[in-house]
């Protein structure tokens, strides 16, 4: 078990907790993180790019001119990809970019991402992220207490409306529930803040 400090919103240490080595002390394998992140980003692609093929173009099917005697190359249809206004040859069509990744691999990547944050001292456990009021200014002042710079990911239980709404206009902060935490967001943000009750939920989901 790894002993980790728990802080309040004033960045003052209040206690220590043990973090499971099976989740927060896993050897990091870059190729697994790459596989999961690539699949996650691919699934966000809409796949709606589309073009008209020669069968989709609204054009006459009549042969444009006789086969021989004109001195020009033979032409059979106005919808041919070689003609202006014709269809597109081998153009994109709607498709799904989703890549299926086994659950064991996804869980392993999550453990590695969390372990990396612990190893680089970019993870902080907060006893509670409850704000007294709904003000963006107060939220920003709380974040300045931790001096983490930009791109911070905060994971808290659902129902924390003051935090969720106060952080909406802060572009370098993202707030997620434990059910929505993912490998890409952990790696993309410089610092990860976990509310103390969330730690147990994450461990339970990954073991």
pLDDT in tens, 163-201: 999 999 999 999 999 999 999 999 999 999 999 999 999
Checking DSSP bridges between strand 13-19 and strand 2-7, what pairing results, if any? antiparallel
For residue range 19-58, list pLDDT tens digits in order: 999 999 999 999 999 999 999 999 999 999 999 999 999 9
Residue 159: which residues within 8 A CB-CB, separation 6 or more? none
Residue 14 confidence class, pLDDT cut points 50, 70, 90: very high
Residue with tokens 């612990």: 118
pLDDT at 130 over 80: yes
pLDDT at 158 over 90: no
Task: Please give the pLDDT value at position 100.
Answer: 94
Please state which CATH number belongs to domain 2-45+101-206: 3.40.1370.10
Kindly state the average pLDDT of the residues 126-148: 92
Task: Please give the pLDDT value at position 199.
Answer: 95
For residue range 143-157, list pLDDT tens digits in order: 999 987 779 999 998
Span(s) in the chain for CATH 3.40.1370.10: 2-45+101-206
Q: What percent of the chain has pLDDT over 70?
A: 100
Task: Please give the pLDDT value at position 205.
Answer: 94
pLDDT at 1 over 80: no
Residue 74: which residues within 8 A CB-CB, separation 6 or more? 67, 68
3-state secondary structure of 207: coil
Query: The whole model's pTM is what?
Result: 0.84
């Amino acid at each position: 078990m790894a002993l980790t400090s728990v802080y309040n919103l004033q960045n003052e240490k209040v206690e220590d907790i043990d973090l499971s080595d099976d989740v927060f002390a896993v050897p990091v394998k870059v190729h697994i993180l790459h596989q999961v992140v690539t699949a996650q980003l691919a699934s966000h692609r809409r796949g709606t790019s589309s073009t008209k093929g020669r069968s989709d173009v609204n054009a006459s099917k009549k042969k444009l001119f006789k086969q021989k005697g004109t001195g020009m190359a033979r032409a059979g249809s106005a919808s041919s990809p070689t003609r202006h206004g014709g269809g597109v040859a081998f153009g994109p069509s709607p498709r799904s970019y989703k890549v299926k990744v086994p659950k064991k691999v996804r869980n392993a990547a999550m453990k590695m991402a969390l372990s990396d944050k612990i190893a680089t001292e970019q993870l902080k456990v907060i006893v509670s992220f409850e704000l007294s009021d709904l003000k963006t200014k107060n939220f920003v002042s709380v974040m300045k207490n931790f001096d983490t710079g930009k791109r911070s990911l905060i994971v808290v239980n659902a129902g924390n409306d003051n935090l969720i709404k106060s952080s909406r206009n802060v572009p370098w902060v993202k707030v997620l529930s434990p059910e929505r935490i993912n490998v890409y967001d952990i790696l993309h943000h410089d610092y990860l803040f976990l509310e103390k009750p969330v730690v147990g939920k994450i461990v339970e989901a990954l073991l």
